[in-house]
């Protein structure tokens, strides 16, 4: 059953309060990708075990496959059944129209990413369309996230090494971050400090000194995309600096696929798929729990 506008606004207000607490108490909410119901169960299990506030997130691929309203309903059902503090993030919305659809569906977090859809988008176009989403989000109070330029990588397993000289060309700067936040009025700035989407043959390295300078330059929340494959000590320090949202996708997908392949190989005569998924869910849950610990968000959920 769809949420009422009042319920959506209440959820968005709670999300804002939790993000404010995250910054004040130095913890971050994990934004964990939802590929299907099994990954949602894994995240909900981890949130309940760790008593942690979490986000589940979907991008256009998942939205097209599952549907905005179905995603909202699924999350709301598990939120009630498990008694967890859980919000939904629409990740990398390629257009204003997609973002507004997420707002109207009751998502508490909306990421508008004009440059991801169009790498040649001008600064003026990115700012103008981001401002449209910020204005539209006033209907519900949803938190709007954005960045001023294309963010590298993809949520997959990459074979190539990381070319940091090339990646550094897209790093955030304190001056550019402040100018973009001031121009758009966004709630969350997606910083680029060495993080990038996907898993690579070598661990990622974050420029924490740059992150500190970006934190000092802006007043809104800071998120880190492309958290998979990042050594945990970077997250521990980033949270201390003031990051309040970290996106995790590929680490979960790797655990899901490798565990599923193992389970299928060990159970060649079993065709009741539901009987095979417990081990898979458990493997993904372990990933989520480990990130929650790194993000210092255990026992930070608001009392229901």
Active site positions, annotated = 91
- Which among 100, 93, 152, 101 has a CA at the least distance from the CA of 126? 93
3-state DSSP percent of the chain in helix, strand and coil, to 5: 55, 15, 30
Tell me which residue of 263, 229, 269, 262 sits closest to 246, measured CA to CA: 229
Read off the DSSP letter of residue 140. T
Contact 94, 116 (CB under 8 A): yes
Q: CA neighbours within 13 Å on the CB side: how many for 300?
A: 26
Q: Give one DSSP letter per residue of 172-190, joined into a string.
A: --HHHHHHHHHHH--SEEE
**Computed over its alpha carbons, how large is the radius of gyration of the chain?**
18
In contact, 181 and 189? CB cutoff 8 Å: yes
Burial class, 136, CB count within 10 angstroms (exposed 0-12 / middle 13-18 / buried 19+): buried
CA 25 from centroid of its chain's CA atoms: 20
Q: Which residues contact 294 (CB under 8 A, 6 or more apart)?
A: 232, 235, 236, 239
Tokens 């709630």 belong to 187
DSSP state of 3: P
């Amino acid at each position: 059953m769809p949420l009422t506008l009042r319920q959506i606004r209440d959820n968005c207000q709670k999300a804002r309060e939790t993000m404010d607490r995250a910054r004040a108490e130095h913890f971050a909410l994990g934004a964990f990708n939802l590929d299907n119901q099994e990954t949602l169960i894994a995240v909900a299990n981890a949130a309940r075990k760790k008593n942690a506030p979490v986000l589940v997130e979907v991008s256009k691929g998942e939205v097209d496959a599952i549907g905005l309203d179905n995603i909202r309903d699924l999350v709301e059902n598990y939120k009630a059944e498990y008694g967890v503090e859980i919000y939904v993030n629409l990740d990398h919305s390629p257009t204003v129209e997609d973002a507004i659809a997420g707002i109207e569906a009751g998502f508490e977090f909306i990421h508008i990413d004009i440059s991801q859809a169009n790498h040649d988008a001008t600064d003026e176009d990115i700012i103008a369309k981001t401002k449209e989403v910020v204005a539209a989000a006033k209907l519900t109070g949803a938190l709007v996230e954005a960045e001023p330029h294309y963010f590298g990588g993809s949520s997959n397993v990459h074979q190539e090494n990381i070319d940091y000289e090339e990646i550094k060309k897209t790093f955030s700067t304190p001056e550019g971050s402040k100018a973009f936040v001031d121009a758009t009025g966004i709630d969350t700035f997606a910083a680029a400090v060495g993080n990038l989407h996907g898993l690579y043959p070598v661990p990622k390295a974050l420029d924490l000194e740059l992150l500190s300078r970006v934190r000092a330059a802006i007043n809104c929340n800071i998120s880190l995309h492309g958290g998979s494959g990042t050594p945990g000590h970077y997250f521990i320090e980033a949270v201390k600096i003031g990051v309040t949202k970290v996106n995790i996708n590929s680490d979960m997908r790797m655990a899901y696929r490798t565990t599923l392949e193992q389970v299928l190989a060990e159970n060649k005569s079993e065709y009741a798929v539901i009987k095979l998924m417990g081990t898979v869910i458990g493997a993904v849950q372990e990933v989520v729990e480990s990130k929650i610990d790194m993000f210092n968000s255990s026992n930070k959920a608001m009392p229901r």
